[in-house]
Amino acid sequence: MQVTLYYNEEDQYLLELVDELAERERKSRSAVIMSILEEHFERGKRLGEILVEKGLVRDETVKRALVVQGRFNRS
């Protein structure tokens, strides 16, 4: 099966993080993206949690993003 994902300039930093992980794990970009999606959909993990576990972002970065989205209370 082939899947096509479209990116724009705003997504470039995410691709750089994915490429960094791909290099560390010696996997392709698509394999890394599929493993993240698998953890999200099949194991019910939240995307931020997965990215923190994989060392792509810090927990504080995810919390700030959730505050901006109105999904996290700072207290």
pLDDT tens digits, 27-52: 999 999 999 999 999 999 998 999 89
Does 4 reside within a domain?
Answer: no
pLDDT tens digits, 62-72: 898 888 888 77
Note the pLDDT of residue 13.
85
Does 75 reside within a domain?
Answer: no
Q: Among the residues of 1-58, which ranges form H helices?
A: 12-25, 29-43, 47-53
- Number of alpha carbons in the 13 Å side-chain half-sphere of residue 74: 6
Does 64 reside within a domain?
Answer: yes
Q: What is the Cα–Cα distance from 72 to 56, expressed in whole angstroms?
A: 20
Does 65 reside within a domain?
Answer: yes
Note the pLDDT of residue 39.
92
Q: What is the Cα–Cα distance from 43 to 16, expressed in whole angstroms?
A: 25
Domain of 26 in residue numbering reads as: 9-69
Reply yes or no on whether the pLDDT at 26 is more than 90: yes
Amino acid at 43: R
pLDDT, average across residues 4-10: 83
Statement: the pTM of the whole predicted model exceeds 0.85: no
